[in-house]
Amino acid sequence: MSKTFSDLGLKQPINDALIDLGYENPTLIQEKAIPQILSSDEDLKAFAQTGTGKTAAFSLPIVELANENDKNTQAIILSPTRELAVQIGKNIEDFSKYIPNLKVTTVYGGANIEQQIRQLKKGVQIVVGTPGRTVDLIRRKALKLSNTKWLVLDEADEMLNMGFKDELDQVLEATPDTKQTLLFSATFPREVEAIAKNYMHNPVEITSGQKNQGSDNVTHEFYQVTEKTRYAALKRIADVNPNIYAIVFCRTRRETQEIADKLIQDGYNADSLHGDLSQAQRDAVMDKFRKKNIQMLVATDVAARGLDVNNLTHVINHKLPDQIENYNHRSGRTGRAGNKGVSIALVNRKEKGKLHPIERTLKKKFIKTAIPTGKEICEIQLFHLIDKIHKSEVNTSEIDSFLPSIYEKLNDFSREELIQKFVSLEFNSFLSYYENAPDLNNISSRDREGGSSGRSSRENMTRFFINLGRKDKLNPPKLMGLINEQGINKNVEIGAIDILDTFSFFEIDREFESFTLEAFESNSPEFNGRRVNIEITKERKDRKRSRRRGGHSSNKGGFGRVRNQNNSSSDRRRNNNRGRKPRR
C-alpha cells in the first residue's frame, strides 16, 4: 500500500494543511527526503527534476522541525528566479497554515527592499530568496543567518547557470558550519559537484529517477527542418495538435519576440516571455498562460524557470539550447505530476549532431517524426471540429425563440446538405490554406542551409511593391543596396527583382517579412530625393488574410477558441517603446 504523509512522521497541523491542498500520498522524492531530513542532520544531495514534488520534499521537514517560538531565521532557501522563490514561499505558507507563529518571507530583486527589510525585522523563521537579493540583505545586516539550521539550494544547477556562483559562496559563508545543507538539482554538472564537495560534509544522496535522466513520461521527438521551414513546421505542429498547451523555447530574447510576434500575427493564441519584459508584464503573461488563455508561450530558458504548470502537452525546442542540461530542464516542464508529454526538437542538418549527447544523458532516443502534411492537418482539424460539435451544449432557452424561423430558412436542405454546409463554413479557408501546401519533409538541396542558390521557391518568399522604378534610376544592384542599407539582416535572401518604369517588385525571404516592413517604416529612407515606400503585394496579403479568416484563426474562432484578443505583446511593445511596432 502506498504511504501517507503521516506515515512519514509529520505532525497533525501539517497533515491537515496537506489535506486542504489535496496532497494524498507523498511522491517518490518526498518519500525519500522527508524521513531522511527529519531523522538526521546529515547534508543531503538530491537529484530531482522540477515537477517531482521537490519543494514539499525539503519544505515539509523544515516546517516540521523549525521552532515557531524562536524568531531567528532558521532556514534560508535559495532559488534561481523570483517566480520560483515566490512559488516556494507560497507553498510553505500553505504547509504551515495551521502553525500560526511560523513565518516565511520571500525576498527577491526588482521589489521594494525596504519593505522586505521591514518584514525580516518582524522575525521570520524561514526566508526564501533569490541569490542576489539575499546577499544584498546580508550586507545590509537586515538578514542574519548566524542561527541558520537549514540551507536549501534549490535548482542549484540553474543558479550556477545563471552566474550566481559568487552569491552562493557568500551565502554559504554567512551561515554557520553546524547547519544542514540540502542541495536539490535536476542535473549535476561539474560546478554543482564542486559546490557539494567544497561546502557539504559527506552528503547522503537520494534520487527520484536516474541522475540527469529525463522523465519516463516524456517522449522525445525531432523534426528535421531547414531555416526556411522551421517556422512553418512549428505552425504545423500547432495545427496538428488543436489542443496544444506548450512552451516554445528559444535561445535569445530577440528570437523569442520574433517567433511570438509571428504566431500572434498568424492568429495563434501565443505570447512571449523573456527578460526584456518588466516583472509586472511577465507576471501577467504567466498568469494568462496558467489560466490557459494562452496556448503557446514562447520563452527563453531563464524566463520560463519559475513557471509552475503541470499539464503542458508539449515542450518545443524551436532551437536547441547550447547546454545539454538545459534540454533536460526544458523537457522536464512536460510529463509532470503523472501526465504524459512530448518534447520536440526542431533541428537542421547541422544541429542534428547535438541530439546524440542529449540522448546519452537522457538514455532515450529521439524519435524522428515527419512534419505533418496539409492533408493530415486538415483531417485532424476536421475531426476536432466534429468532436466539438458533438460535445457542445445547446442552450435551448437562449435560442428557442429564433428556431422556428431558422428551421424555415433551412427547410430546403437535406440533413446531408446541412452537414456539408456547416462543415464547409468552418473549414473551407483552412482547406484552401493547406490545399497546395508543400511537403516540408522533402527538403530540396537548394533549401539546405548554406547551399542556397540565391533564389527560393515562391512559397518561402514575400513579394514587395516599392514606389521606385527606372525613372528614379533604380536598377537591381541599387535596389539590393537600398534593401541592405536598412539593416534587416546580413543573411537575408533577396529573390526575384522586377524593375518597372515607375515602380518595382522584389522578393524577400518570408522569415524577414516583418523586419523588412518595419525597417523601411522606421528608417524612412530616401532614394534620389524621393521618400521610399514599400508594401506587401496583394497576393501575399490575400494569403495572409485568408489564413486569418479561416485557416489558423479558425483554429481559435471557427474551431471554438477565441482568437488572441489580449494583444498584450503588441501593447507591451508599444508602451515600452522597446521593440518593433506591431503591424495592423
d(CA 247, CA 45): 29
Edge-to-edge strands, sheet with 367-368: 270-273, 296-300, 246-250, 314-317, 341-347, 218-224, 367-368
Q: What is the DSSP string of 236-283?
A: HHHHH-TT--EEEEESSHHHHHHHHHHHHHTT-SEEEE-TTS-HHHHH
**Among the listed residues 54, 133, 262, 329, the single contact to ligand AMP using CB under 6 A:** 54
Identity of the residue, 206 or 240, whose beta carbon is nearer to ligand AMP in the bound complex: 206
d(CA 543, CA 359): 40
Identity of the residue, 52 or 564, whose beta carbon is nearer to ligand AMP in the bound complex: 52
Single out the residue of 564, 50, 561 nearest to residue 335, CA to CA: 50
**Among the listed residues 14, 50, 159, 261, the single contact to ligand AMP using CB under 6 A:** 50
CB 243, min distance to ligand AMP, A: 21
CB 155, min distance to ligand AMP, A: 10
Identity of the residue, 280 or 337, whose beta carbon is nearer to ligand AMP in the bound complex: 337
Cα angle 247, 250, 252; round to 5: 140
Only one of the segments 9-17, 22-30, 229-237, 482-490 lies at the binding site for ligand AMP (rule: CB under 6 A); that segment is 22-30
Looking at this protein, which amino acid is placed at residue 478?
K
d(CA 307, CA 86): 11
Provide Rg for the chain, Cα atoms.
Answer: 28
d(CA 375, CA 380): 9
Count CB atoms within 10 A of the CB of residue 360: 11
Total residues at the site for ligand AMP (CB under 6 A)? 14
Identity of the residue, 261 or 325, whose beta carbon is nearer to ligand AMP in the bound complex: 325
Identity of the residue, 26 or 89, whose beta carbon is nearer to ligand AMP in the bound complex: 26
Identity of the residue, 145 or 152, whose beta carbon is nearer to ligand AMP in the bound complex: 152
**Among the listed residues 51, 61, 80, 551, the single contact to ligand AMP using CB under 6 A:** 51
Identity of the residue, 30 or 73, whose beta carbon is nearer to ligand AMP in the bound complex: 30
Q: Does 52 bind ligand AMP (CB under 6 A)?
A: yes
Q: Does 331 bind ligand AMP (CB under 6 A)?
A: no
CB 3, min distance to ligand AMP, A: 10
d(CA 22, CA 16): 10
CB 345, min distance to ligand AMP, A: 24
Identity of the residue, 34 or 172, whose beta carbon is nearer to ligand AMP in the bound complex: 34
Q: Does 19 bind ligand AMP (CB under 6 A)?
A: no
Q: Which element (helix H / strand E) includes 321? A: none
Which residues make beta-bridge pairs with 272?
A: 298
**Ramachandran category for residue 338: left, alpha or beta (phi over 0 → left; psi -120 to 50 → alpha):** left
d(CA 413, CA 416): 8
Q: Does 328 bind ligand AMP (CB under 6 A)?
A: no
Q: Fill in the per-residue mask, 298 to 327: x = in contact with ligand AMP (CB under 6 A), - = not in contact.
A: ----------x-x-----------------
**Ramachandran category for residue 212: left, alpha or beta (phi over 0 → left; psi -120 to 50 → alpha):** left
Single out the residue of 352, 335, 381 nearest to residue 240, CA to CA: 381
d(CA 309, CA 81): 15
User: What residues between 252 and 271 interact with ligand AMP by CB under 6 A?
Assistant: none
d(CA 460, CA 514): 14
Q: Does 55 bind ligand AMP (CB under 6 A)?
A: yes
Identity of the residue, 54 or 510, whose beta carbon is nearer to ligand AMP in the bound complex: 54
CB 362, min distance to ligand AMP, A: 19
Q: Does 207 bind ligand AMP (CB under 6 A)?
A: no
Q: Does 26 bind ligand AMP (CB under 6 A)?
A: yes
Only one of the segments 47-55, 143-151, 200-208, 234-242 lies at the binding site for ligand AMP (rule: CB under 6 A); that segment is 47-55
Only one of the segments 25-33, 37-45, 69-77, 183-191 lies at the binding site for ligand AMP (rule: CB under 6 A); that segment is 25-33
d(CA 1, CA 335): 24
Only one of the segments 50-58, 230-238, 271-279, 417-425 lies at the binding site for ligand AMP (rule: CB under 6 A); that segment is 50-58
Q: Does 130 bind ligand AMP (CB under 6 A)?
A: no
Only one of the segments 46-54, 227-235, 415-423, 515-523 lies at the binding site for ligand AMP (rule: CB under 6 A); that segment is 46-54
* Contact positions vs ligand AMP (CB under 6 A): 23, 26-27, 30, 50-56, 308, 310, 337
